[in-house]
A and B are shown apart, each in its own frame.
Chain A
């Protein structure tokens, strides 16, 4: 077909003749989902070769299309089998930090508890800030052939914006304020990743996994209904990011098993740095101390808090290893870094 511009007064209309596969998706019980339109030559299974343009999967290429710079050519580099479902779930489960948190349930807390909560929120707003930047950094490298993976990352950016905002709001809503900045908290490792899978394993699986394990202890950490709700809602979002990461890793290991040692190498580095937590590194003293105060129930119950903190670390590390096992990296258990190894349950 021609892509020449029409002549004065003339018509081309050759674009009308491109439809050799009429497609009529029908909505399912959940409405018209990405899965419902994942049909025929438009489906993720029918992914063709990328062309470094932003031509969406299934669209007809223009012979004169310019390239936009390198992006991943192999599906395994960015794909997760659950990304269609996760995208729809993300769209359906958006929430509002302004209206879905019962801010009116906040009540004055003892000074040490309020300060500890504010310190934790200071750390979390920083962490979530980076977690929004990282997918943005990778969007141009995702081929439009793997369109839904790109869409999923866009929802993640929105989720992380909401988390950045909700923790900032919480710090400023109950007579407190922001406190001490974190000490990097391993966040640089997320920005430094030079490969999508490296980024995903470090951010989605490790860092967000550690954060998720912490959020799921929100009933213990939060002292008001508002606090507990914040952790619950955020955990719901983190679950999606984590699910993407686990399934991406699984896809890589299933289709490119030769990358196993390379992935171990990324984890060796990350687990060797500090406590190996990336954004889930809760061992920075202000964060560690704040968590111990919150978990223990006050500064005077710090020792009790330390014990619960150690349980949290145990939970973080074992859930992390379990997720890696689900993804097909069960041998990580034998190779986990020394700072994490002490928390590993016997197999």
Chain B
């Protein structure tokens, strides 16, 4: 009986099967693990040796010398990645940005990312790793150069609904006005929350090759969370409450998106419409708090729109054969949004707010029509900036332009 075999018959420590399997792969004779334990090595040290690829022969030699620690060769110190990088802030006001570290090979965002693991772009790949299940490997699908500065700007411009809004300035409002605000914000709180969920649910599809884009989308997710939170807080702070849930037609189209370009195209429509809406938030706001809230939301949404426009432009430039396909997604989203604009719980609160009360709702409806027209025009203009000419707007959306023309607004 060898020394190892004798040790094996005496040990009482539970040795994981995984460790035994690894030892067998490395040519450790049966009982060598037990011998190591017997000679005072912990299971942790043995595991360390197994993970480091110490062969059976090396292990035996090592144990016969009575050493305490396997002397590693620090192979990872010699991997041929780019070394000597000393990134410095290019703008002291902004600090060390992710743009500042996009230097040398670390700044190369490949057109196609081939690694299926969670590898950090620019590090030395492990030759055998599991597929982590990413599905997006093409830069053209997700990328826009603006994500690099926008990520840091989003962090710089962060705000907190709890403390950055003047809650103490709220004063009672006429019932119709207060309820209109609450209904509008119930809908918007749900829309923001849902959009955040949707962007978040696509994160695991995107590989590390496009890390800067994922970082930016993380700020979008966080922004939308705060919007949802702030809208809910406002609805519950001035004698009102939550109203009717948001219509589900548009959100279902978002949920049904089968690919990232479809998701982005469908969201493009609402992102543009809501940006215009909140940019004109002063017309809706009844007090200082709402003015500030809508302007902060608009500022956050400007960044998202910038991404949407640049992403689409880049996508169409790189994948021109997919240009016409986008019409299908825009058409679908336009149709559902326009349908929801006709919903009384969507349109009437806005008309009351714009008109200044239920008794002035007709004037409010006229103003809302003007706002809808502006939303559509700015949407078409945003598409144009992305080099996309939307020649045939969906009929439901077009009807708003026709009504506006008829009404002379």
Q: Mark A residues whose CB is within 8 Å of B.
A: 1, 3-6, 11-16, 18-19, 21-27, 30-34, 36-37, 39, 41-42, 53-56, 58-62, 64-66, 68-69, 87-88, 91-92, 94, 96-101, 103, 112, 115, 119, 122, 125-126, 129-130, 132-137, 139-140, 142, 144, 147, 150-151, 153-155, 157-158, 160-162, 164-165, 168-169, 171-184, 187-188, 191, 272-275, 283-286, 288-290, 299, 302-303, 306, 310, 313, 337-339, 341-343
Contact = CB atoms under 8 A, between A and B. Distances in A.
A126 B15 CA distance: 30
23 contacts: A16-B179, A24-B238, A32-B233, A37-B232, A58-B242, A59-B243, A68-B251, A103-B95, A103-B96, A130-B118, A140-B201, A151-B229, A165-B215, A169-B96, A169-B101, A172-B87, A177-B82, A179-B77, A183-B129, A187-B118, A187-B132, A302-B72, A338-B43
Contacts of B229: 34, 87, 91, 151
Interface of B: 13-16, 18-19, 42-44, 47-48, 51-53, 68-69, 71-72, 74-77, 79, 81-89, 94-98, 101, 103, 106, 117-120, 122-126, 129-130, 132-133, 151-152, 155-156, 158, 160-163, 165, 167-168, 176, 179-180, 182-183, 186, 189-190, 193-194, 196-204, 208, 211, 214-215, 218-219, 221-222, 224-226, 228-229, 232-233, 236-249, 251-252, 255, 342-345, 347-349, 358, 361
Given A13-B358, A59-B190, A88 B162 contact: yes
Contact of A177 (B83, B125, B255): B83
A27 B293 CA distance: 16
Contacts of A54: 190, 193-194, 197, 245-246, 251
Given A3-B343, A151-B225, A303-B69, A160 B87 contact: no
A175 B83 CA distance: 7
Contact of A96 (B14, B18, B156): B156
Contacts of A272: 16, 18
Contact of B186 (A56, A65, A112, A154): A56
Contacts of B15: 338
A176 B83 contact: yes
Contact of A25 (B97, B237, B347): B237
A31 B125 CA distance: 48
A154 B344 contact: no
A112 B236 contact: no
Give me the 3 closest cross-chain CB pairs, A-B, nearest first.
A98-B95, A31-B162, A12-B344
Contacts, number: 389
Contacts of B233: 25, 32, 34, 36-37
Contacts of B132: 130, 187-188, 191
Contacts of A168: 98, 101, 120, 211
Given A56-B186, A65-B245, A122-B120, A154 B196 contact: yes
Given A24-B237, A151-B193, A157-B200, 7 more contacts: A18-B241, A133-B203, A136-B201, A161-B219, A169-B87, A181-B117, A183-B126
Contacts of A64: 248
